[in-house]
Amino acid sequence: SQLLMQLINCQKELHIFSSWQVLLDSLVHTFAHHIGTFTALERTTAEELNKAFVCARDPTELPAGYLALKTFQYPICPLPANADIGYFDGVLSTPGITGYLLLIVICLLGWASSAKVRHARFRVFYQFHHFLVPAWVILLVLHGANGWVGLGFPLVILVAGIPIAAYTWTRSRRAYLAWFCPSTVLAAEKSLNGKLVRIEVQLSSGYRKCSVGEYAYINIPSISRFEWHPFTISNSKDDETGGQLITFCIMSVGRWTQKLKDACAGHAFPRVNIDDPFYAPTVSMPLHSTVVGIGAGVGVTPFLSFLGSLAASQVSQERQHAHVFWMSAWATDFLLFKDLFAQLETQGGNTKCHLHATPRWDGRGLGCLFDLASRDIWNDWVRRLAARSSETVPTFCHYPKPLHAVVSGSTLESETPLVIVVGRPDFVAELLAIGHADLREHVFVYCCGNDSLKEGIQTACVACNKHNESSGYMQRFYFYHERFG
């Protein structure tokens, strides 16, 4: 359903919201203990407290399944008749100490998850999560060890038992895969600028069939035995042994990905472990008639997976409109998937790839020379297109500020001229043109990129919806966003 898709689409925001909610609720909970529970301990006698505490009841009166953790109880329960319990006995009790430790754990997780720390020290972010999340669960169990109130069983198990079981299963499965089910890297190729690396991995028959747009976690033991990183599967096909050949396109932006690129530079490729393909928003792309995929840099990989499925089947013949926009600061990145473009060219159909080179325009990069060299060539090409038919002139030539492009003969193996646009697309103009090709169908727009790109495309979809509403059209533009950062 659309509601479920939107929930999956904003999973990161829900995760962040839940974390803030846990922190705020914990602070309120702690404050309530200080003004309520701990002050009540000081004003109440031990005999009265024993009557109120569940842990002080006769064993025959305890709730069914009562779990006694007397080893961790402080103060001991039931309280001695002559015990003098005060405010600081509550502060230094097992619930008090574990409560403060829980607050420290939550604050450390929040600090490590901040954008600044996550981008600069990803390994700190990664390790904090994998050590502190289990610690948080253990501390919550100990937090209720005194058994003053409640069911006599760790409430965290009842409330969060399913997520804890799923987390434990995931960690156990990855340990099993790392030791007993290694996969094989068959080929690796770098882009001309060295920023992107494309690797092909052979999976055994034990893995389920990969679907369009899914992602998998990769572990390279020679780099780090415990680090797993998510990457979108850009292509998948069956091999002769009954397994699968899957392709990843990875950008070297950090220490781990740089080491991966270096490890794949020679002829002896490293051992690799793969954790099952997982669902992503782009999985729903084949279900719709009119779809648009927009990726910046390595963010195009979910849509390359979609293109790969079209190249290997006849789906594109049944589809009315399928468009993929690929923006890259390095135009030579497009050469990394010449084989995929060749398959699409051979098959034909209604799939359209829009390649946009977005080099630097600050006067220091090669982008300025690229801009200057392409201007006259492209203007001449447009004049010739217009002379044949005005309908053959590309959409971006009609922008408020028209872009120009170069015509490449080396991107396709057939050497058919292919247009590479210089500059970013005008998404409102492009999406309206795609939608108006068939106003009976809704347009489903998928984006994989940074927050700036996301906001720009989301704004464009809103503008397109307002334009159609004012024009009396029923067509709507639906937006989905995918990212791992």
- 299/251 Cα distance (integer angstroms): 9
* 280 and 213 Cβ atoms separated by less than 8 Å: yes
| Same domain as 152, residue 8 | yes
Residue 26 belongs to domain spanning: 2-177
The answer to the question of residue 377 being in a domain is no
- 479/469 Cα distance (integer angstroms): 17
From 29-38, 233-242, 340-349, the region with the lowest mean pLDDT: 340-349
The answer to the question of residue 269 being in a domain is yes
Question: What is the percentage of the chain residues whose pLDDT exceeds 90?
Answer: 22
Last residue of a domain, one of 177, 204, 234: 177
- What mean pLDDT do residues 215-236 have? 87
Strand partners, 254: none
Q: Tell which residue, 186, 195, 201, has the closest CA to residue 258.
A: 195
The sheet with strand 196-203 has its strands ordered as 184-190, 196-203, 244-251, 229-238, 215-219, 273-278
Q: Tell which residue, 152, 151, 154, has the closest CA to residue 143.
A: 154
| Same domain as 236, residue 105 | no
The answer to the question of residue 345 being in a domain is yes
- Output the CA angle 159-165-168, nearest 5 degrees: 135
Distances (CA, A) of 130 to 154, 227, 467: 22, 10, 47
| Same domain as 245, residue 293 | no
| Same domain as 270, residue 228 | yes
From 65-79, 107-121, 459-473, the region with the lowest mean pLDDT: 65-79
In the block, residue with structure tokens 């680090």: 227
Pure H helices in 33-154: 38-43, 46-52, 87-91, 94-113, 115-120, 122-143
| Same domain as 123, residue 187 | no
- 423/406 Cα distance (integer angstroms): 11
| Same domain as 188, residue 166 | no
- Residues 340-376 have pLDDT tens digits of 888 787 776 678 889 998 876 654 445 555 666 667 7
| Same domain as 172, residue 157 | yes
- 373/385 Cα distance (integer angstroms): 19
Residue 163, pLDDT score:
87
* 305 and 232 Cβ atoms separated by less than 8 Å: yes
- 425/354 Cα distance (integer angstroms): 9
* 378 and 408 Cβ atoms separated by less than 8 Å: no
Residue 126 Cα to chain centre, angstroms? 14
- 129/110 Cα distance (integer angstroms): 10
| Same domain as 272, residue 134 | no
Q: Sign (positive/negative) of CA torsion 152, 156, 159, 164?
A: negative
Q: pTM for the complete prediction?
A: 0.77
Residue 21, pLDDT score:
93
Q: Into how many domains does the chain fold?
A: 3
- What mean pLDDT do residues 16-25 have? 92
- Residues 384-420 have pLDDT tens digits of 888 888 878 888 888 888 888 877 877 777 778 788 8
Last residue of a domain, one of 177, 212, 234: 177
pLDDT at 180 over 70: yes
Selected residue with higher pLDDT from 63 and 18: 18
CA trace torsion 137, 140, 146, 147 (10° rounding): -90
- Residues 312-339 have pLDDT tens digits of 665 445 555 789 999 988 888 888 888 8
pLDDT at 378 over 50: yes
| Same domain as 416, residue 466 | yes
Strand partners, 292: 323, 445
The answer to the question of residue 389 being in a domain is no
CA trace torsion 36, 39, 42, 47 (10° rounding): 0
* 185 and 219 Cβ atoms separated by less than 8 Å: no
The answer to the question of residue 82 being in a domain is yes
| Same domain as 152, residue 78 | yes
pLDDT at 5 over 80: no
Last residue of a domain, one of 156, 177, 198: 177
Omega of the bond prior to 302 within 30 degrees of 0, cis? Answer: no
- 33/383 Cα distance (integer angstroms): 78
Question: What is the percentage of the chain residues whose pLDDT exceeds 70?
Answer: 91
Report the CATH number that the domain containing residue 347 is assigned in CATH: 3.40.50.80
Residue 316, pLDDT score:
45
Residue 6, pLDDT score:
65
The overall average pLDDT reported for the chain is 84
| Same domain as 260, residue 193 | yes
- 207/248 Cα distance (integer angstroms): 16
- Residues 82-132 have pLDDT tens digits of 888 889 998 999 999 999 999 999 999 999 998 888 888 888 888 898 899
| Same domain as 418, residue 293 | yes
Report the CATH number that the domain containing residue 195 is assigned in CATH: 2.40.30.10
